[in-house]
């Protein structure tokens, strides 16, 4: 009586076994289906073993052997700069709430800041949210300056850990070039500062300053900022290759936006690069 039913039972058992076995497939441990939580970028390499978990790179090429793939490495040829590249073209920067927008424009692949007024400050944040430890660089030039009297404070800065709250209170730390006429004697400096206040009244607290040669109007210079573990190393490179460095410790900002800050000057920004040290 039972014998005629056996073929049907065997068919169902076979289907169940096949379903369980076939669902696992013959994939290697490094592979997963594209688009799953285990393979964020869908390149066939699981996140745990992917040296660029957010960028497709099935070949996993890593020329400098810093465990970050060339496809997302900040500098694929420098193992000392083991950080993840972030999209940071001029078009990715815009003013936060509370700061004027009409003084920023894109032109010829550069980000231009066009306001030249006594006491005026302009800020632009990189889109994409907050970051912790970060490396950033930019080529810049002051395209216009003026003598506003005894309270000149010209600045062009890279900032990090920056934020603006609902009341437009501003906080940031950063490094860059400045001339502060409130000092005696007045001199050109490469500085690390802490910023506070608001868009209409930014305050500064010096953390470190070193003297530097003046920068002429339209003279291109390069700023590089490296922030790690509560310390900052900043360098200024002139067109002739001469470099000035400044550093500081005891930074207060941990998470925040990366951006640009200018004060009492017109400015031009190109070759913007931002990289984060945190694993993705």
pTM of this prediction? 0.83
Provide the pLDDT for residue 8.
Answer: 39
* Closest residue by Cα to residue 227 from 185, 278, 189: 278
Cα distance between residue 45 and residue 172, in whole Å: 38
Q: What is the CATH number of domain 86-276?
A: 2.60.120.560
- For residues 157 and 136, is the Cβ–Cβ distance under 8 A? no
pLDDT per residue rounded down to tens, the chain (280 residues): 334 443 433 333 333 333 333 333 333 334 444 456 799 999 999 999 999 999 999 999 999 999 999 999 999 999 999 999 998 999 999 999 999 999 999 999 999 999 999 989 999 999 988 999 999 999 999 999 988 876 788 999 999 999 999 999 999 999 999 998 777 666 899 999 999 999 989 999 999 999 999 999 999 999 999 999 999 999 999 999 999 999 999 998 778 999 999 999 999 999 999 999 975 5
Provide the pLDDT for residue 280.
Answer: 54
Provide the pLDDT for residue 20.
Answer: 34
Provide the pLDDT for residue 122.
Answer: 97
CB atoms within 10 A of CB 12: 9
Q: What is the token pair recorded at 206?
A: 């010096």
DSSP assignment letter at 8: H
Provide the pLDDT for residue 182.
Answer: 75
- The partner residues of 222 in beta bridges, in order of sequence, read 139, 237
Name the segment(s) of the chain with CATH classification 2.60.120.560.
86-276
Q: What is the token pair recorded at 61?
A: 């090429």
Cα distance between residue 232 and residue 246, in whole Å: 8
Helix (H) or strand (E) holding 13, with range, is helix 6-24
* Closest residue by Cα to residue 122 from 273, 269, 264: 264
């Amino acid at each position: 009586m039972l014998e005629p039913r056996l073929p049907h039972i065997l068919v169902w058992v076979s289907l169940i076994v096949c379903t369980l076995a076939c669902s696992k497939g013959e994939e290697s441990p490094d592979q997963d289906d594209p688009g799953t939580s285990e393979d964020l970028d869908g390149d066939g390499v699981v996140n745990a073993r992917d040296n660029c978990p957010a960028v497709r790179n099935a070949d996993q090429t890593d020329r400098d052997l810093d465990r970050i793939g060339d496809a997302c490495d900040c500098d694929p040829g420098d193992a000392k700069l083991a950080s993840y590249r972030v999209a940071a073209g001029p078009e990715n920067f815009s003013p936060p709430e509370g700061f004027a927008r009409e003084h920023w424009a894109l032109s010829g692949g550069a980000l231009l800041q066009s306001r030249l007024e006594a006491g005026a400050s302009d800020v632009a944040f990189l889109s994409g949210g907050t970051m912790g430890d970060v490396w950033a660089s930019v080529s810049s030039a002051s395209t216009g300056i003026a003598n506003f009297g005894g309270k000149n404070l010209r600045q062009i800065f890279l900032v990090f850990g920056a934020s603006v709250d609902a009341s437009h209170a501003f906080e940031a730390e950063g490094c860059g070039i400045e001339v502060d006429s409130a000092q005696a004697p007045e001199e050109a400096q490469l500085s690390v500062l802490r910023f506070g206040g608001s868009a209409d009244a930014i305050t500064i607290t010096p953390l470190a300053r070193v003297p530097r040669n003046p920068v002429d109007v339209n003279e291109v210079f390069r700023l590089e900022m490296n922030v790690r573990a509560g310390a900052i190393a900043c360098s200024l490179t002139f067109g002739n290759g001469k470099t000035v460095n400044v550093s500081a410790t005891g930074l207060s900002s941990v998470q925040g936006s990366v951006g640009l800050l200018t004060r009492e000057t017109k400015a031009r920004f190109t070759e913007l690069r931002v990289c984060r040290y945190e694993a993705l």
